[in-house]
């Protein structure tokens, strides 16, 4: 696509429809929409097959609503993560069809009509990790996969996890969320033949260091089919799982 645009532009120069000077300027300005405090990357959908996502942390409800509605207007599925209920209310005024998910605090708008492809299993070690697991699951569902949720299967009661083997074996990719010692992805990694995306969560206290212990554990996993995203980054795991599962 990009190469095509470039060719087209250069053909217009050849045809004399565009001066070299104007073309030079355009070549340095690829497509994004500047709304003052932000530059919306409509181009991402072209570049990466998946739309831009709004990271809500540190943005005002008004800013979230403004970006949300611009993205919505372009027809793509829209996701705003880590957004407050106030942000949702601001969004809803502009996009009444948007939905709010309380646990992971995110706003979604489903507009595409493509059916899901690929299966993602989202597993979490304890019931306290649910909000992060939910963020991952909602992301993967919104962007077009079938998601299976498996909850409360920490490694300290290994039989609970082993009992889920059939569900795990059906997945094209597994997302494993765990706080505290973060050992869940290692065990799952040894049980399945597909990629495992490990999400450390900030659940725990004391020497959990707000998720650093789980993060380090996951990075040092002996299972070679594991990679790791940032602490509490359920969204990133869901997005990446979608890329893998839809292949």
17-36: which residues touch a copy of itself (CB under 8 A)?
Answer: 19-21, 23-24, 27-30, 32, 36
221 binds a copy of itself (CB under 8 A): yes
Write out the binding residues for a copy of itself, residues 99-138 only, by CB under 8 A. Answer: 125-128, 130
Residue 205 contacts residue 171 (beta carbons within 8 Å): no
208 binds a copy of itself (CB under 8 A): yes
165 binds a copy of itself (CB under 8 A): yes
Binding piece for a copy of itself, criterion CB under 8 A, among 70-78, 90-98, 105-113, 203-211: 203-211
Residue 98 contacts residue 109 (beta carbons within 8 Å): yes
> How many CB atoms are located within 10 Å of the residue 234 CB?
30
Rounded Cα distance between 207 and 169, Å, is: 34
Write out the binding residues for a copy of itself, residues 71-90 only, by CB under 8 A. Answer: none
Binding piece for a copy of itself, criterion CB under 8 A, among 83-91, 94-102, 109-117, 165-173: 165-173
Size of the site for a copy of itself (CB under 8 A): 111
Rounded Cα distance between 196 and 219, Å, is: 12
Residue 140 contacts residue 114 (beta carbons within 8 Å): no
3-state DSSP: the chain helix, strand, coil percent, rounded to 5? 45, 15, 35
- Residue in 61, 94, 100, 243 binding a copy of itself, rule: CB under 8 A: 243
């Amino acid at each position: 696509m990009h190469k095509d645009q470039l060719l087209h532009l250069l053909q217009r120069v050849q045809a004399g429809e565009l001066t070299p000077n104007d073309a030079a300027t355009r070549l340095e300005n690829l497509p994004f929409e500047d709304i003052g405090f932000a530059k919306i990357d409509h181009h991402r959908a072209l570049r990466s097959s998946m739309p831009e996502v709004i990271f809500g942390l540190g943005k005002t409800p008004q800013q979230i609503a403004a970006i949300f509605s611009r993205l919505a207007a372009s027809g793509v599925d829209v996701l705003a993560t880590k957004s407050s209920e106030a942000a949702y209310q601001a969004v809803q005024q502009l996009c009444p069809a948007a939905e709010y998910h309380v646990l992971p605090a995110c706003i979604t708008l489903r507009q595409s009509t493509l059916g899901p492809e690929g299966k993602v299993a989202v597993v979490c070690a304890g019931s306290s990790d649910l909000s992060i697991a939910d963020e991952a699951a909602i992301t993967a569902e919104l962007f077009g996969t079938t998601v299976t949720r498996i909850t409360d299967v920490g490694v300290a009661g290994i039989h609970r996890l082993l009992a889920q083997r059939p569900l795990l074996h059906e997945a094209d990719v597994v997302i494993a969320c765990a706080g505290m010692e973060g050992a869940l992805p290692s065990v799952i990694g040894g049980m399945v033949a597909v990629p495992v995306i490990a999400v450390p969560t900030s659940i725990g206290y004391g020497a959990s260091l707000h998720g650093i212990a789980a993060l380090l554990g996951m990075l040092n996993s002996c299972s070679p089919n594991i990679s790791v995203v940032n602490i509490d980054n359920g969204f990133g795991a869901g997005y990446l799982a979608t890329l893998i599962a839809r292949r």
